Amino acid sequence: MSAPHEYDFLVVGTGIAGLTFALKAARHGRVAILSKKTGEASNTAWAQGGVSCVLSPDDSFDQHIADTLDAGAGLCDEKAVRAIISEGPERIAELIRLGVKFSQKPGAPPGDFDLGIEGGHTRRRILHQGDQTGLEIATHLLAAARAEKNIILLEGYYAIDLITTGKLGYAQEDRCLGLYALDQNIGDVKTFRSDRVILATGGSGRVYQYTTNPEVATGDGVAMAWRAGVTIANMEFIQFHPTCLFHPQKRSFLISEALRGEGGVLVGADGQPFMHKYDRRENLAPRDIVARAIDREIKKTGSKCVFLDITSKPRAWLEDRFPHIFQTLMNLGIDMSKEPIPVVPAAHYQCGGVQTNLDGATSLRGLWAVGEVACTGLHGANRLASNSLLEGAVMGHRAVEDVLQKEPLPARHPREFSLDPWISGDAQDVDELVVIYHNWDEIRRLMWDYVSIVRTSKRLQRAATRLRTLQKEVQEFYWGYRVTAEVLELRNLVQVAALIVDSAHSRHESRGAHCTLDYPEIDDAHFKKNTLLWRV
């Protein structure tokens, strides 16, 4: 029976938030970063658009704050919005010092960035590196983490559950002591001990049949936190990106919102623009409005998709500004300089998550959450485009300061609590993967059919009924067989799906990314508040 692996800091996830935290925490102690696949597998690495930040003399913090509050449909925490936006320039400067490069205006001196604009923004403030900004950031952060002697990156380690004093039966204040993780490299479950656990696991887009998210986005952090009794907030607000490529060979390929910022126009199958019918900002309206408009046009006309037309721009300009998108489309036989791009909405971003304060602290002592997994109050009912990478950088920084204040080093108490090792018992190896894949597929289909862009109470009830049955089936698998990545992902997916449905069912209004035909109006009198759920 091996002893727990002990670290000063334990980070789960390798996106911008987790890596920012890890690099700063490494100055104070030993850091372990767990990644269930490779370090490169994160939502950050998939981000195309960029990072919103006030850097232009034509812009201001107040204007960025106003745009964020407007997109958030009345549910943003203004204190959180102001703090994260005002601290943005300093965090951007740190990324640049790490080697991150952002596109500049042609022939301009260093620091004169080619700022873009996206839906909901009233100024050009989007820093980008072509159309692979997230990859640029992730590459440099990972390189720095791998070079840091105080950081160990454990790839192929799937976090299973948090270990708490309550679960171990101690009578004192409930707190997080570490976690169990499946080492997929050898198939064993290992115990990790730390007084400072940071969830940076990203979102949950894979709970839907159609999503722009990578395969790792299965809601692991939210599900683990829920099982540990941590407060979860606003899970009904799942943002659907308006423009995911509609093509059988590339079902999760995002067509960046930056295309609309640079003049792209949404048109129907008849080639006619339609966004003027839905919002005065037309193609640059916030994402919730544009996604619903596309959904309505598709249903009204019976078309399978709509189209994004940016043929007004020269080919050379498109190749330079959007090199990844241009080449990907060309490989599929679509020349965006000559023909419109077929697009549909797809699940994109989790606006809610593990509820935290402005320092990333959760309702469980010893546990912090940063990045998309967390609900800080920045996004409200609908995220403003390109605010997510900004939040990750700022909150990764803020969390370090809070962790050191509340759980100062070098004081550690490794023997104050006795951690039970993982016991597999008589569990058998999984021999019915077809059942797991069937349940996975059913969850994603029912969420798309019943809990998608537009909802009804009847659809939510149907989803809840089926999810209760699926949860029982998944629990039988979890307890009856040895844990595998497939079993763990399915367990987390069904839990997150249930949280989304329960949250949506309790909000009797339409606000931001939550739209229900039974309650089509905003109801500030009763629902201008967060939806909070926790396991008793």
Q: What positions carry a catalytic annotation?
A: 287
* 306 close to 266: Cβ distance less than 8 angstroms: yes
* 9 close to 30: Cβ distance less than 8 angstroms: yes
Q: Where are the alpha helices (DSSP H) in 189-270?
A: 220-227, 258-261
- Is the torsion defined by CA of 263, 268, 274, 278 positive or negative? negative
* 19 close to 396: Cβ distance less than 8 angstroms: yes
CA angle 526, 64, 118 (to 5 degrees): 95
Q: For residue 190, give the amino acid letter.
A: K
Please list the residues that pair with 273 across neighbouring strands.
267
Closest CA to 86 of 65, 58, 56: 65
Report how far residue 83's alpha carbon sits from residue 99's, in angstroms, rounded to the nearest whole number.
Answer: 25
C-alpha distances out from residue 272 to 164, 256, 286, 350, Å? 57, 21, 21, 32
* Token code pair at residue 217: 């986005």
* 377 close to 386: Cβ distance less than 8 angstroms: no
Tell me 451's DSSP state. S
Please list the residues that pair with 153 across neighbouring strands.
33
Enumerate residues 6+ apart whose C-beta is below 8 A from 298.
Answer: 304, 305, 306, 344
Report how far residue 162's alpha carbon sits from residue 173's, in angstroms, rounded to the nearest whole number.
Answer: 15
* 390 close to 84: Cβ distance less than 8 angstroms: yes
Residue with token string 């998709």: 305
